[in-house]
Structure 1
Amino acid sequence: MAAAPLYCVCRQPYDVSRFMIECDICKDWFHGSCVQVEEHHAVDIDVYHCPNCDVIHGPSLMKKRNNWHRHDYTEPDDGTKPVQAGTPVFVKELQTRTFASGEEIMMQMKGEQVTRRYLERHGFNYPIVVTEMEGLGLKLPAPTFSVKDVEQYVGGDKVIDVIDVARQADSKMKLSEFVKYYTNPHRPKVLNLISLEFSDTKMSELVEVPDVAQKMSWVENYWPDDSFFPKPFVQKYCLMGVKDSYTDFHIDFGGTSVWYHVLWGEKIFYLIKPTPTNLALYEAWSSSPNQSEVFFGDKVDKCYKCVVTQGTTLLIPTGWIHAVLTSQDCMAFGGNFLHNLNIGMQLRCYEMERRLKTPDLFKFPYFEAICWYVAKNLLETLKELREDNCPPPTYLVEGVKALITALKTWLKREVSEPCEVPDNIRPNHLIKELTKEIRYLEEPGNGSKLVKSQGSGCAVGSGSNGCPATRSTLERLCQARRARRAARRLREQQRQAPKVPSNLDILEQHTREVLKRLEVGPLEEVSVHGKLNKASTASAAAAAESLEDNHLRLMLVNGRIISPSRCLPLEQREPGERQHRLQGDKSPMDSQGNSSSEAWDNQGLPSPLNRSHVTSPETDYQYCDPSMSPPLHPSKRHAPNPPPISNQATKGKRPKKGMATAKQRLGKILKLNRHSRVFV
């Protein structure tokens, strides 16, 4: 096998994860980190000379800048080509534009007012601005926290994706390199960092997301710990942008809602409402070849401008189209979350991403898998509300309908594309049950119970809707719900766990095993109470040994199913029992005139009073010697060709005397033990 070719001054094989550049003189390839060339600088080089060729041919030649309004600044500026988004000319023009004030659509709220209960009642359809943070539940570092502190907590070797704003192109670099660039007063380029997710770093301990995002998040509430798919981490981002950084119009992946907090600096948001018309225009604009040359804000009726200053938190609902301009150096924290309030819009945004062929890197991780988990949990919620005679809120019913349609579509697509269906979910059964719950709500007389407001149908004071109106009743209702949910989950776990055979299953198995052995093994006829019973001590011992792992231990000896404790040696029995055996096994009479042996024979099992004779499962049992059984009656001699004893021998007819089937024998045993409290 030929050795892999070696490159660069380090003479290492090719590594797809590392940026490399080709020398235009010697045609060899070099790692950018080995020759001090960063990826975002490589596009500015016209002719590259490696360190060896640099000595002979001089330094590399750089590209000449011909314009400041095109992504490719080497294009000649003849005045005919339009301005492209992100370029210095574009940013300058954007700052001079006039827009509708964001106060027309923004909801000014205090942190303590932004709760899950409030959003469920009034909806989450417009952006929310929070200036007073108390009660929001958001924990952040002090405003003195710097980019160098980020490097210390996250690690300088972490590879990050940065955006070259003037070119609107991505490139990779180490965090330490970006911090060095950020702290340099001379910046030849505008680089923007918006995708540093730090949930798996030490910095995660310094940040806690707002309570409303934590309590409403699908991932935090519905994603199981034992999921086959890795848990998506999209809740904690650190955004570090320099002045004039710009992100063009977009919808956050999967239609997620997003929270931003400006730790220091300032950001300007340009917001567009997600109406059906605007969403259609956005999809057409995103797929157009001249997207970067058209400012999407000019294509819609209204584009709102919202300035987010230091110490302010902004929450953007599902589907809102927005662009962001960093008007001064800024550090912000943010996160994305899916929730129940706008399920239909989230699914619509996801399908739009599929039609636009958005790369997986810019999509919500395992979006379809989380939808299956949510569908399973919403099914339990609908069942609980129906059992409590409590109508579900309209937003939940409409969301489940949209979810059912999406799940059906994904299942049909599974043949041609991989489908993210979790292993512990039966997709068709889940869809069927959800459809059944929705059909119940739409039946005449049931649909009128739906709560038409955004609020939850079981809030305190909503007694007119059939829900409890007092706090104590609501608490009892919540306790009952939790108990039912726990019982439902337990049943689900029991269905998934391997079935443990019950005592009755073991008894039936034992009976069939013994009868099967009696058909083919050497038989011994014994007359017991005037009935013909065929028994094999060896068969009984073998059957007991084959079932030694079961909790129920029985043996068929002399035609009777007995406990192993009856076959203990004489020296291990009770004194009274040894005396009975020495006297010829004469049965003493009990207080009711019945002999103890007769009571044993009728029941086939020891009574609760005789449980002291039953030994532990670990005991090595010694079986009875057949020679100690009563002598055979002359009329019960071996037949020359005894008929088989089996269910097949009866051919569906009534069996002859002494040929009881396994089912009949089992029924007799159960009938005789109907009133017994203990079943060994």
Structure 2
Amino acid sequence: MAAAPLYCVCRQPYDVSRFMIECDICKDWFHGSCVQVEEHHAVDIDVYHCPNCDVKHGPSLMKKRNNWHRHDYTEPDDGSQPVQAGTSVFIKKLQNRTFPSADELLIRMRGEQVTPRYLERHGFNYPLVITEMEGLGLKLPPPTFSVKDVEQYVGGDKVIDVIDVARQADSKMKLSEFIKYFTKPHRPKVLNLISLEFSDTKMSELVEVPDVAKKMSWVENYWPDESFFPKPFVQKYCLMGVKDSYTDFHIDFGGTSVWYHVLWGEKIFYLIKPSPTNLALYEAWSSSPNQSEVFFGDKVEKCYKCVVPQGTTLLIPTGWIHAVLTSQDCMAFGGNFLHNLNIGMQLRCYEMERRLKTPDLFKFPYFEAICWYVAKNLLEMLKELREDNCPPSTYIVDGVKALIGALRTWLKREVTEPTSEVPDNIRPNHLIKELTKEIRYLEDESVSGSKPVKSQGYGLSSGMNGCLTTRSLERLCQARRARRAARRLREQQGQAPKLPSNLDILERHTRDVLKRLEVGPLEEDPTFCAKVHGKFNKVSTASAAAASAPEMMEDNHLRLMMVNGRIISKAGALAWFVHYRLRVDDLLMCITGGLERVKTELREDVSGHSSVSDEESDSDSPTEVNDLSDLILERPTSPSTEEAIQGMLSMAGLLCSSKAEEERSQGNSSSEAWDNQGLPSPETDYQYCDPSMSPPLHPSKRHAPNPPPISNQATKGKRPKKGMATAKQRLGKILKLNRHSRVFV
């Protein structure tokens, strides 16, 4: 493989990021920084001689100036060529012209009055001028802050883009070189710096953007920290221009709104409304070959002149067409931001940039990506407002409609132009579908005969509803921060060892209870009773403090319970035990007082129902159940821990009815004591669960009066042979025979 060719006096390979110039004698290429030639100076050189050729052939030859009104000043001045924008002749003519004063459209306000609530209520359609900064939230260096201070905070080696005003062309140079040029008393050229974004420098600590721009900004509110795309930095710019600097008519990238503050000096803005007619004229003017020869202010009905002196802040809304003249040396700070108030206009400006084939350098970074993020958040906002029965603002509805159309267009464009900016965590088609549903819901509500919402100001339903969008945005931001914190917490917990399961504790507890049921009359064991009392007292204490300290319920060891034949989750079990506060003394009384009576009744029922059919008994040998203790001690055949736990919970679930319920049950059938969900009547003293905790069962899944035989792993769904009834089947037999008893096993 051949080695890369070397150039310049430094003998380094070609670097696309560095400016180079060719020697017209030896035809070698040299880095401008190595031969002390700036890029903006190179255009003035007619014949360049490198340092080696300079010795033999003399210094480089410079171009001869033939005119002062054309970008190419070497053209002969025959008086037939029109004046081009930015030239010295153009600047003089512009300063001598008269324009309508912008006072007839500017809104002058104090800083404390400029809030998102005000703009949502009255709209952000005209420029705002703020002379009293208090309450605006804008933080800036003192007026004594100089261009040398900028170099100190930003760094002199930072490469910047500067504009050669006379040619209206960009060139690159180091910040230190521009500071040297700025501080010279004699300037051969007019250079303007308007693209120094300093969010990633030390100077960022000296500047805080206005609160209204920060609170409304899409990037600040909607751009996620985990985004694959780099976050756009367009919030903090430092603009340094010498006298007679001029920027021709333009719309800020992506239709962004912009704030300017003149720290010292003065700027003059020429403002044009973004009406449909003016926007169409602007697009035609921008794409014309003689754009620089036509002053766009002459093509529209009105072009307003707005002078911004030192210490004044100007806020320009979305889509406003404007040009800027620096009437004296000036330093200003500014920033751009997208927002919800003019979504349709922002999208229109972006599509115009695409049609004009604007270079990516002069476009809003990842504009389509931020729109997808905004669409996702606006969907959440619309759902939240619908749940709160609050109508969204008109500008939100109109903005979402425009956004849906743009998102669909971008998806179709992906077929031919696969430059997707769709974030990975967003399903584009699903998102568009959900947004469309919300808009249709709003339209159906307005057509269905409901009273139209009384609009006020900028399309808001009322003065109170004027703050709905702001509050919804704040709630969404808070919810987003909470989700991020929860995700970080889960990640931290995932790194820590998991806590052991409490199923073993529950199983040990159940075995102790069953052991005492086996011995007949209950003999209280002080140690065991102390443990059980401690368990249930903890439940009672947790139920009393549940409202103020729900985290205390995590200490409860009873994690599972039976509801409709299922084991519900830990949270459901805790809620059940906390709500009903079972007391161990009542449980022990039920066991002691009813055990002997249950045994007697069971034996009588077994002897009286010896001819029960197979479908009703689930076993061909009901006489095998000789005693309640035999039933309880024989555990179901189960290959899994879950079924074993289910069996133990079923055997440990005892219920004692009150006397009132006993009297009512004498006149009613036992099936009426249970509701259609298989739960005890809410009138009983103690219940296992709140009926609201379990949803109603489908009629096809409710318990039938005569359920079919219960199958398990041992029988594999087949009827067991005579004498081989499983424990579950014998338990089902006892449940049916004991419907009228006072103890439910």
TM interval, shorter chain, is 0.7 to 0.9
Contact 2:518 2:633 in 1 (8 A): no
Match of 2:89? Answer: 89
Contact 2:127 2:316 in 1 (8 A): yes
Q: How many angstroms does 1:453 deviate by?
A: 3.2
Distance of 2:264 and 2:634 partners within structure 1: 87
Q: How many angstroms does 1:4 deviate by?
A: 0.9
> Using a 3 Å threshold, how does the CA distance of structure 1 residues 381 and 190 change in structure 2: closer, same or farther?
same
Q: How is 1:439-450 mapped onto 2 (pairs within 5 angstroms)?
A: 439-443=440-444, 444-445=447-448, 448-450=451-453
Q: How many angstroms does 1:112 deviate by?
A: 1.1
Match of 1:420? Answer: 421
Distance of 2:13 and 2:117 partners within structure 1: 58
Q: How many angstroms does 1:426 deviate by?
A: 1.3
Q: How is 1:151-230 mapped onto 2 (pairs within 5 angstroms)?
A: 151-230=151-230
Partner secondary structure for residue 203 of structure 2: helix
If the length of structure 1 is used for normalisation, what is the TM-score? 0.74
Match of 1:141? Answer: 141
> Using a 3 Å threshold, how does the CA distance of structure 1 residues 447 and 459 change in structure 2: closer, same or farther?
same
Match of 2:18? Answer: 18
Match of 1:604? Answer: 644
Q: How is 1:369-448 mapped onto 2 (pairs within 5 angstroms)?
A: 369-416=369-416, 417-443=418-444, 444-445=447-448, 448=451
Distance of 1:247 and 1:479 partners within structure 2: 39
Partner secondary structure for residue 595 of structure 1: helix
Distance of 1:250 and 1:486 partners within structure 2: 38
Contact 1:394 1:450 in 2 (8 A): no
Task: Report the AA paired with residue 452 of structure 1.
Answer: S
- Higher helix content, 1 or 2: 2
Contact 1:589 1:596 in 2 (8 A): no
Q: How is 1:563-582 mapped onto 2 (pairs within 5 angstroms)?
A: none
1:588 aligns with 2:519: yes
Distance of 2:218 and 2:44 partners within structure 1: 44
If the length of structure 2 is used for normalisation, what is the TM-score? 0.68
Q: How many angstroms does 1:588 deviate by?
A: 3.4
Match of 2:718? Answer: 655
> Using a 3 Å threshold, how does the CA distance of structure 1 residues 294 and 487 change in structure 2: closer, same or farther?
closer
Distance of 1:478 and 1:165 partners within structure 2: 45
Match of 2:285? Answer: 285
Contact 2:632 2:651 in 1 (8 A): no
Distance of 1:607 and 1:141 partners within structure 2: 74
Unpaired runs of 5+ in structure 1?
Answer: 469-473, 499-547, 555-561, 567-572, 581-585, 612-644, 673-680
Match of 2:456? Answer: 453
Task: Report the AA paired with residue 361 of structure 1.
Answer: L
Task: Report the AA paired with residue 32 of structure 1.
Answer: G
Distance of 2:632 and 2:721 partners within structure 1: 19
Moved more, 448-457 or 194-203: 448-457
Contact 1:253 1:362 in 2 (8 A): yes
> Using a 3 Å threshold, how does the CA distance of structure 1 residues 122 and 484 change in structure 2: closer, same or farther?
closer
Unpaired runs of 5+ in structure 2?
Answer: 492-497, 523-594, 597-627, 637-642, 653-710, 736-745
Task: Report the AA paired with residue 601 of structure 1.
Answer: R
Q: How many angstroms does 1:388 deviate by?
A: 1.4
Q: How many angstroms does 1:608 deviate by?
A: 7.5
Distance of 1:296 and 1:389 partners within structure 2: 48
Q: How many angstroms does 1:655 deviate by?
A: 3.4
Q: How many angstroms does 1:488 deviate by?
A: 13
Q: How many angstroms does 1:489 deviate by?
A: 8.2
Partner secondary structure for residue 277 of structure 1: helix
Distance of 2:520 and 2:101 partners within structure 1: 102
Distance of 2:477 and 2:313 partners within structure 1: 39
Moved more, 381-390 or 345-354: 381-390
Partner secondary structure for residue 604 of structure 1: helix
Task: Report the AA paired with residue 98 of structure 2.
Answer: T
Q: How many angstroms does 1:600 deviate by?
A: 6.3
Task: Report the AA paired with residue 140 of structure 2.
Answer: L
> Using a 3 Å threshold, how does the CA distance of structure 1 residues 553 and 181 change in structure 2: closer, same or farther?
same
Distance of 1:665 and 1:400 partners within structure 2: 59
Task: Report the AA paired with residue 397 of structure 1.
Answer: V
Partner secondary structure for residue 21 of structure 1: strand
Count of residue correspondences: 549
> Using a 3 Å threshold, how does the CA distance of structure 1 residues 35 and 432 change in structure 2: closer, same or farther?
same
**1:54-89, CA deviations, whole angstroms, 9 ceiling, x for partnerless residues?**
111110000000001111111111111111100111
Q: How many angstroms does 1:380 deviate by?
A: 1.2
Match of 1:620? Answer: none
Q: How is 1:458-537 mapped onto 2 (pairs within 5 angstroms)?
A: 461=464, 482=475, 486=479
Contact 2:454 2:462 in 1 (8 A): no
**1:285-317, CA deviations, whole angstroms, 9 ceiling, x for partnerless residues?**
000011011110010000000000000100000
Q: How many angstroms does 1:486 deviate by?
A: 4.2
Distance of 2:241 and 2:485 partners within structure 1: 49
Distance of 1:480 and 1:657 partners within structure 2: 64
Partner secondary structure for residue 208 of structure 1: coil
> Using a 3 Å threshold, how does the CA distance of structure 1 residues 317 and 657 change in structure 2: closer, same or farther?
same
> Using a 3 Å threshold, how does the CA distance of structure 1 residues 400 and 286 change in structure 2: closer, same or farther?
same
Q: How many angstroms does 1:211 deviate by?
A: 0.7
Q: How many angstroms does 1:165 deviate by?
A: 0.4
Match of 2:570? Answer: none
Q: How many angstroms does 1:587 deviate by?
A: 5.4
Partner secondary structure for residue 132 of structure 2: coil
RMSD: 3.8
**1:200-231, CA deviations, whole angstroms, 9 ceiling, x for partnerless residues?**
00000000001110111010011111111111
> Using a 3 Å threshold, how does the CA distance of structure 1 residues 337 and 303 change in structure 2: closer, same or farther?
same
Contact 2:257 2:338 in 1 (8 A): yes
Task: Report the AA paired with residue 318 of structure 1.
Answer: T
Distance of 1:224 and 1:376 partners within structure 2: 11
Distance of 2:309 and 2:477 partners within structure 1: 48
Partner secondary structure for residue 26 of structure 1: coil
> Using a 3 Å threshold, how does the CA distance of structure 1 residues 609 and 409 change in structure 2: closer, same or farther?
closer
> Using a 3 Å threshold, how does the CA distance of structure 1 residues 590 and 69 change in structure 2: closer, same or farther?
farther
Contact 1:198 1:238 in 2 (8 A): yes
Contact 2:455 2:461 in 1 (8 A): no
> Using a 3 Å threshold, how does the CA distance of structure 1 residues 106 and 21 change in structure 2: closer, same or farther?
same
Distance of 2:237 and 2:139 partners within structure 1: 14
Q: How many angstroms does 1:451 deviate by?
A: 5.2
